[in-house]
Amino acid sequence: MNIAIIGTGYVGLVTGTCFAEVGHSVICVDCDEAKVKLLQGGGIPIFEPGLEEMVKKNVAEGRLNFTASTAEGVEKSDVIFIAVPTPPLEDGAVDLSYIERVARDIANAMTSYKVVVDKSTVPVKTGEKVAETIKRYCKADCEFDVISNPEFLREGFAVEDLMNPDRIVVGTTSEKPKAAMREIYEPFNAPIIFTDINSAELIKHAANSFLAMKISYINAVAAICEATGANVEEVATGIGMDERIGRRFLNASLGFGGSCFPKDLSAFIRISDDLGYDFGLLKKVQEINAEQMDRFLKKITDTLWILKDKTIGVLGLAFKQNTDDVRMSPAIEVCQRLLKEGATLRVHDPKAMEKAKELLPAEGVTYVDDMDSVAEGCDALVVATEWPEFKELNLAKTRDAMTAPLLFDGRNLFDPAEMEQLGFTYKSIGR
Ligand code: UGA
């Protein structure tokens, strides 16, 4: 199948690469010419495990190409995936101007039947608008179908998730695009669920909101655990073994972040409001998430009392493990709030230090390459991201390097009993 992917962000680049990997001919389009040049030369603008090798291999084998011209992408493909950003607006709504722009560009370039697939996360009924736009601007007056195919990959596991999907959701009731999607996804051996286009769009927002709700739920339970001396991990295991609940996404933390959950929750609440339904449940999910960060920072101030002129080590800057993405990262928020209180920081992240520099002030932050040296001279150490390598931290060296061995674990990476034995004052979440 000849496929164009418009937008080479996390979703577009990984999707295009994995489609090429299974044998399709893929042309990735991006309006950022510098990015296209980088990709053409074998460079990768993001860190994502396994991606670089896969891009290089498929470029070398001729199945994966990059261009800055939408017209070229449209001309060379039968199926066009839209994977451009849909960033949040001030009021929680979604900025759909990139989608609209791409719809016009596709319309202008189209000279024969195309399947146009929306893969970006969009509010329900966006597909209908895309179809109207293409119809309005297509001079050649050719036939086309607009369908929805939401993506469920997680950053940090994007290649793995894309190559082994739980399910493929396709929103269309027409036979031609159904056949095209069956052909594209056949090598992935996953069940395909066909729905109407509005349902497919809703599935994406409903799935992300549900996962965010699971995290806020366990974080609320963690607060009760702290008040009673119970252990949130044991509770999560106990409830998670019920197949109806499931253990995944029940890891208590300092709150969820990233470019998806916060944005998609706001968008879903806003869409529901516009449709006349007050989605109070999801508003509470947001509230619990904000409170979780406050409760975590309160633990630090309750213990250290005054933060001014204190040195605090922070392990982790990315919004989660395995990524260099710092957008809406809880770890960055921790840093910003500690700095605001007058603390100085010594920070480390295996991949996200460069991107963090764009968000954190230059003054008051020292970037430390070696995680075992972060704690030097620190009054406290904070674990803010769930990088598995932090479990290998040299705890004895860390303890001895600090003015007082005080560790705030926002990701429950260490065992409380072991930490106590090592002489740490150790505070984690819900334990
Ligand atoms: C999320 C969804 O998991 C994907 O299915 C979806 O495709 C993606 O959004 C998207 O819409 O593009 P992602 O944002 O990459 O993926 O990251 P997650 O793994 O879901 O983690 C989100 C946040 O929740 C992170 O800050 C993570 O640390 C936190 N989290 C996750 C917890 O605090 N506890 C958990 O149990 C799980």
Q: How far apart, in whole angstroms, are the C-alpha atoms of residue 79 and residue 4?
A: 6
Distance 262 CA to ligand 1 centre (A): 10
Walk along the chain (431 residues) and give the pLDDT tens digit of each residue.
Answer: 999 999 999 999 999 999 999 999 999 999 999 999 999 888 899 999 999 999 999 999 999 999 999 999 999 999 999 999 999 998 888 999 999 999 999 999 999 999 999 999 999 999 999 999 999 999 998 999 999 999 999 999 999 999 999 999 999 999 999 999 999 999 999 999 999 999 999 999 999 999 999 999 999 999 999 999 999 999 999 999 999 999 999 999 999 999 999 999 999 999 999 999 999 999 999 999 999 999 999 999 999 999 999 999 999 999 999 999 999 999 999 999 999 999 999 999 999 999 999 999 999 999 999 999 999 999 999 999 999 999 999 999 999 999 999 999 999 999 999 999 999 999 999 99
Question: The whole model's pTM is what?
Answer: 0.96
Looking at the fold, whether 57 and 146 belong to one and the same domain comes out as: yes
Distance 301 CA to ligand 1 centre (A): 28
Looking at the fold, whether 174 and 236 belong to one and the same domain comes out as: no
Looking at the fold, whether 129 and 149 belong to one and the same domain comes out as: yes
Distance 154 CA to ligand 1 centre (A): 6
CB neighbour class for 187 (10 Å; exposed up to 12, middle 13-18, buried from 19): middle
For the CA of 253, the closest atom of ligand 1 is: 33
For the CA of 157, the closest atom of ligand 1 is: 15
Answer yes or no: is 231 within a domain.
yes
For the CA of 214, the closest atom of ligand 1 is: 36
Q: Can you say whether the dihedral through the CA atoms of 34, 35, 37, 42 is positive or negative?
A: positive
pLDDT tens for residues 191-233?
999 999 999 999 999 999 999 999 999 999 999 999 999 999 9
Looking at the fold, whether 78 and 25 belong to one and the same domain comes out as: yes
Answer yes or no: is 347 within a domain.
no
| Residues near ligand 1 (Cβ within 6 A) | 121, 151-155, 208, 211, 215, 249-251, 253, 256-258, 260-261, 319-320, 386
Answer yes or no: is 45 within a domain.
yes
Answer yes or no: is 43 within a domain.
yes
Query: What pLDDT score was predicted for residue 123?
Result: 95
Looking at the fold, whether 142 and 214 belong to one and the same domain comes out as: no
Q: How far apart, in whole angstroms, are the C-alpha atoms of residue 142 and residue 17?
A: 29
Answer yes or no: is 324 within a domain.
no
Looking at the fold, whether 208 and 173 belong to one and the same domain comes out as: no
Distance 255 CA to ligand 1 centre (A): 11
Q: Choose the final residue of a domain: 285, 306, 321.
A: 285
Answer yes or no: is 10 within a domain.
yes
Residue nearest to atom 2 of ligand 1 (CA): 154
Residue nearest to atom 28 of ligand 1 (CA): 320
Looking at the fold, whether 71 and 190 belong to one and the same domain comes out as: yes
Looking at the fold, whether 31 and 164 belong to one and the same domain comes out as: yes
Looking at the fold, whether 88 and 208 belong to one and the same domain comes out as: no
Residue nearest to atom 7 of ligand 1 (CA): 152
Domain count, the chain: 2
Query: What pLDDT score was predicted for residue 42?
Result: 84
Answer yes or no: is 321 within a domain.
no
- 280: tokens are 């109070």
Q: SS3 letters for 195-237?
A: ECHHHHHHHHHHHHHHHHHHHHHHHHHHHHHHHHCCCHHHHHH
Q: What is the CATH classification number for the domain harbouring 213?
A: 1.10.1040.10
> For tokens 């030097």, what's the residue?
376
Residue nearest to atom 9 of ligand 1 (CA): 260
Answer yes or no: is 300 within a domain.
no
Domain that holds residue 74: 2-195
Q: What is the CATH classification number for the domain harbouring 54?
A: 3.40.50.720
Residue nearest to atom 12 of ligand 1 (CA): 260
Residue nearest to atom 35 of ligand 1 (CA): 249
- 69: tokens are 């011209």
Looking at the fold, whether 44 and 136 belong to one and the same domain comes out as: yes
Q: Choose the final residue of a domain: 175, 195, 215.
A: 195
Q: Does residue 260 carry a catalytic annotation?
A: yes
Distance 302 CA to ligand 1 centre (A): 29
Looking at the fold, whether 77 and 131 belong to one and the same domain comes out as: yes
The DSSP call for residue 88 is B
Distance 153 CA to ligand 1 centre (A): 9
Looking at the fold, whether 150 and 47 belong to one and the same domain comes out as: yes
Per annotation, catalytic residue among 28, 225, 260, 335: 260
Q: How far apart, in whole angstroms, are the C-alpha atoms of residue 35 and residue 66?
A: 9
Q: Choose the final residue of a domain: 195, 228, 256.
A: 195
